[in-house]
Amino acid sequence: MGYQAQTNKKMEEKNNPLLCDPVEGICGIPGTTTNTKVTTQNTEKPIKVIYFTDPICSSCWGIEPQLRKLKLEYGNSIEIEYRMGGLLPDWSYNSGGISKPSDVAHHWDEVSVYYDMPIDGNIWLEDPLHSSYPPSIAFKAAQMQDNEKAILFLREIREMVFLQKKNITKWEHLATAAKQVGLNVEQLKTGFEGKAKTLFEDDLKLAKQFGVRGFPTLFFTDNSNNTEIVYGSRPYAFYETAVLKLNSSAIKNEYSKNWETLFAKYNSLTAKEFSELSGTPRNESEKLLNDRSGKGTLEKLTTKNGTIWKRKNTSR
């Protein structure tokens, strides 16, 4: 391949939001820039975090360990508002470059290794998604019912798409996920076919207003509208620093780091997540979790690119 062809290929790939940059830790939207002037409504907690994400954003899956730890340590100081960004409208958005789902499969396998979070890219070969809009709209419908259950729902559909190779644009999978986390499935369907579409459009407008250029993007804002932005997948210290810059008196919660307590809080954990939350070295985390699954207290799902462990025979 000649130099110009290579350059063109790189530019085309850069314009594809599903080809996330693992070094920057971002799944990007072409032609947008971040606007640092942010105005938010006041909250009861000292800091509001507006988190722009997408159900099929691999970089967002990559920050689950950091985000879960942030909630455990600074949950008393921060309130996180989830907003959908619209990563993949359809497959006609890009006139050149990566133009079909199968081109994404290998990329997902690569970022899985980079983030040390299990992702099986074969979904793009076996049952590819035509868009990320349906699961995004379903999330907005879930938020209409119950915000906490909506966050569990988002986690559930992410596990479906990244590990179980399930096409989460299909209603059957969205309904299963909703049932799993205790949402009213009929109510979800009514919202999904109605008001949730408008709420999703509102999220897209807000992302544009904020100048969001990729996911994950987190805006940390205090009640005086001072803002810190964490753009892309970053080590935990970046998220903690954003909190402390805005509220130096924020108290770090001490929490129990044993496996029973962590699995009581979070229904499922990867080895990377368990390592981040428990402070256990990464290689020891995998050994401990395998030991628990061997004793029948945890069950595990192994993919070609990693494993996730769940509490056994328990409800949420």
Does pLDDT of 93 surpass 80?
Answer: no
pLDDT of residue 37: 54
H-helix segments, the chain: 3-14, 58-62, 64-74, 102-115, 123-126, 133-145, 147-162, 171-180, 185-193, 195-210, 236-246, 259-265, 271-278, 282-294
Which pair of tokens denotes residue 316? 């949420």
- The Cα-based distances of 177 to 10, 72, 188 in angstroms read 37, 24, 11
Q: Residue 160: which of 139, 142, 147, 176 has the closest Cα? A: 176
Which pair of tokens denotes residue 10? 């790189």
pLDDT of residue 100: 81
User: Per-residue pLDDT tens for 121-139?
Assistant: 999 999 999 999 999 999 9
Amino acid identity of residue 55, one-letter, is P
Does pLDDT of 85 surpass 50?
Answer: yes
pLDDT (mean) for 158-166: 98
User: Per-residue pLDDT tens for 237-267?
Assistant: 999 999 999 999 999 999 999 999 999 999 9
Q: Are strands 27-28 and 227-231 parallel, antiparallel or unpaired?
A: unpaired
User: Per-residue pLDDT tens for 274-291?
Assistant: 999 999 999 999 999 999
- The answer to whether 61 and 162 are in contact (CB under 8 A) is yes
- Residue 18 or 206, more confident: 206
Domains and CATH numbers, the chain: 19-215 (3.40.30.10), 259-311 (1.10.10.10)
pLDDT of residue 68: 98
| Average pLDDT of the residues of the chain | 90
Cα distance between residue 248 and residue 132, in whole Å: 38
> pLDDT class for 15, splitting at 50, 70, 90?
low
All residues at 6 or more sequence positions from 151 whose CB lies less than 8 Å from its CB, including other chains:
82
